[in-house]
Structure 1
């Protein structure tokens, strides 16, 4: 309060004290002439005047308190406002952040968005193999799939991107080293009306199990038959179309099939333009949705409260070997081709999936493998799902004697999933190969068998967290 107003306030208070005192004196004098009848009235007036005087003092004290702290309060208010400005500056600069099935950053107009996600899988495996080396029973922990994932759009929602890197833990042959390896690196342009184009490195349109992301499989891993025939992370360009009833993808690039399929292809993940083993590779996939919504086919699990649906799919692949395979390679100027078909049925508490795959080629003295997979799951409670799977592969290899059982894979898997939350899942599964393994399958809990031994089994447990 300014000094001249403060002084006026003090003088006003003194004047009021004087008036009160004078009035009190007159009241006391009046009582001397009023007699006994007026004593009570005088005492009542005195009490009222004392109360008024006390209220005036209290009001004055509060005014003084306000003045003494005015500067401090103004400072506090300024600090609070500054802090509020700091906290809202992120929004004022045109960005929002939060959680919507994953962490995100976005502009208020929706034209820019970054989604940040990832997954961790920790596993325990107990393996039993007859005459196994160094022991019949081996067990231990390892990391399954661990990755960081970035996706979103820029400029407007039609320009989409996807980047993902895996921290190598366990491969089919146990060659993980913990290093981060680029997997997805793609740009998609959505032209509207269901049409779009994707370019870069991504999973080509071949096997459905591979196209369903790692964290949404029925078991801990995809089926072994899928692992044998699968596509990789393929470099190329793809035309996409989706309608209410069907969707289709057509791919052309450097390669789709992997070295695990047949001799020749090596995959094109992170390869350079001059190092791939094919002249060209073509792949296409067509899916027809009999019922349900497309979104329910993003996984193999069907919760009790989910909508049901049914879908069929077919796909084909064709690629020809190029000069990089070497003049002595049987794949040079030869072709490999394949067909696959699959059926998916989600029933709101249960699911069923089946697939068949065949690969052929015109390479001299080469094999034409084929295989199939049938799997299903059922929720016994709201959070616990039991599942089973049967795999069969005929490698189409002529072998006899001790290696006869290694010409085929014949395996079963049984297990259960416990969904602790939408982002955390625990899985326990037991699998057995009724034939014999000729090589390691570490990520599935198996190793190469000795001679003609068979019936190798693995008991595994996993906790998976996605964010």
Structure 2
């Protein structure tokens, strides 16, 4: 009655019951695989987006760099195809890329404390015991070349010296009131004519005394010797020829205005400044008043002989540890022809002749220096007496370490005045070099124990050898043998 149909239905039901779980399991697997693929696609999409952003940033940065380089190239073109700047051997410089234009920039300052003692000082000179802080020197110097290295120039600005500071109680006669004002101390040009000949023109140091020719940062003691100041002919306007054609010799010849020239630019009233009836000399100020010169002209010559060593070693009196030995000998003469009718300068119408010889030796940290100096007034007029003056200085210094250098100095001079005692003094001190001459502490004791302080006429051609600029501040006419002079000085120097 039922045939095959019921049998078939029963078989299909049995098969469905057996295969249903298998289909469900396969569907779950497919869903899991789809989810995994979706996650991979999302990760790939995120990575693609980040790479796109990184590429965009890189493109922006490269564009910025191109803009900066383009701007730098434009600026270098405006600066005449580039400029170099830096520090060379302690000097800052600006220089064109081709080397034809150069400016060296240097400066220094010296702050000093001085305590000075002498019994029986005259009234109005500050009393027996004196002490004071001083900014003794502050200068800035520009030098280099233009057009090409053969054309040189120099300009030095300085503050006025405490020699003319009223706070040092020097008295009111013509004393400058403008303490700290800035003036032109040196200025001029040079031309390298040949390999052996160089010409200078301007206001500069006259090539005479070795100690004065040292730059002020390179002095051994706190300041120069009084004997050096006594015979110093200072700075003046001049034409100077330097000859270096000999391997071991340098020769300097100067035609100049002489040392009896008023180089002070102004006084309190804007007129010509006199100091104790004596014109302020070329050691301190930088340009001459036309028609005030008491000298027709002056001629100065100096020769330096390098016995052995390097020429740069004569630039100071320090035998740096590790340097080779050196030995130098020098000599100089100066002659000034008086101009008739200009007699207000002390010294009247006298011609003036001066001379010096010196030597410097350096060996294994030990340095020795000595100099002899002399001068003579010739054919004096106006009641000024003829006289011969002589003097000498000697230094000895030793580098105990790379930083510490004790030294001693002796000095002697006479102004040639009849009946005057010779001046004799000694200095003891030390230098501590923090960075050689760029940062240095100097301390010394100056002791003068014999002699008569020269009258004003004796230093008509240089500044007062016992003035406040040296921390001594003693008036003329005193006998040191009766009342010794003792000064304690400390100075810190910074320079570049």
How far did residue 443 of structure 1 move? 1.8
State the alpha-carbon separation in 2 of the partners of residues 247 and 172 from structure 1. 36
Question: Which position in structure 2 is the counterpart of 1:220?
Answer: 222
Q: Between Structure 1 and Structure 2, whose CA radius of gyration is higher?
A: 2
How far did residue 331 of structure 1 move? 3.6
Question: Which position in structure 2 is the counterpart of 1:131?
Answer: 120
Q: TM-score, normalised by structure 1?
A: 0.81
Residue 357 of structure 2, aligned match among 338, 341, 346? 341
State the alpha-carbon separation in 1 of the partners of residues 236 and 101 from structure 2. 27
1:43-89 CA-to-partner distances (Å, cap 9, x unmatched) read 9976874563243121243256469x76x973x66566555555666
TM-aligned CA distance change 1:265 to 1:360, over 3 Å: farther
- For residues 46-445 of structure 1, the aligned pairs below 5 Å read 49=37, 52-62=40-50, 65=53, 74=60, 82=67, 91-92=76-77, 93=79, 94-100=82-88, 101-132=90-121, 133=123, 134-171=126-163, 177-242=179-244, 243-256=246-259, 266-267=281-282, 269-323=286-340, 325-326=342-343, 331-332=348-349, 334-364=350-380, 365-399=385-419, 404=420, 407-422=421-436, 423-435=438-450, 436-437=452-453, 440-445=466-471
Contact in 1 for aligned 2:261/2:293 (Cα 8 Å):
no
Question: Which position in structure 2 is the counterpart of 1:457?
Answer: 486
TM-aligned CA distance change 1:89 to 1:150, over 3 Å: farther
What RMSD in Å do the two structures reach over aligned CA positions?
3.3
3-state secondary structure, aligned to 2:41: helix
TM-aligned CA distance change 1:424 to 1:324, over 3 Å: farther
Structure 2, unpaired ranges of 5+:
1-20, 169-174, 263-274, 455-463
State the alpha-carbon separation in 2 of the partners of residues 120 and 102 from structure 1. 15
Higher share of residues assigned helix: 1
Q: TM-score, normalised by structure 2?
A: 0.77
Question: Which position in structure 1 is the counterpart of 2:172?
Answer: none
Contact in 1 for aligned 2:190/2:199 (Cα 8 Å):
yes
TM-aligned CA distance change 1:106 to 1:264, over 3 Å: closer
How far did residue 120 of structure 1 move? 0.2
Q: What is the count of residue pairs matched by the alignment?
A: 423
State the alpha-carbon separation in 1 of the partners of residues 87 and 346 from structure 2. 52
Q: Which runs of 4+ in 1 moved over 3 A?
A: 42-52, 63-67, 76-92, 132-135, 172-176, 256-260, 263-269, 326-331, 436-440, 449-453
3-state secondary structure, aligned to 1:316: strand
How far did residue 327 of structure 1 move? 8.7
Structure 1, unpaired ranges of 5+:
1-30
TM-aligned CA distance change 1:215 to 1:330, over 3 Å: closer
TM-aligned CA distance change 1:428 to 1:330, over 3 Å: closer
1:276-298 CA-to-partner distances (Å, cap 9, x unmatched) read 11111101001110000101111
3-state secondary structure, aligned to 2:49: helix
State the alpha-carbon separation in 1 of the partners of residues 230 and 47 from structure 2. 89
1:361-398 CA-to-partner distances (Å, cap 9, x unmatched) read 32342221110000021011110111110010111112
TM-aligned CA distance change 1:171 to 1:348, over 3 Å: farther
How far did residue 456 of structure 1 move? 1.1
How far did residue 205 of structure 1 move? 1.3
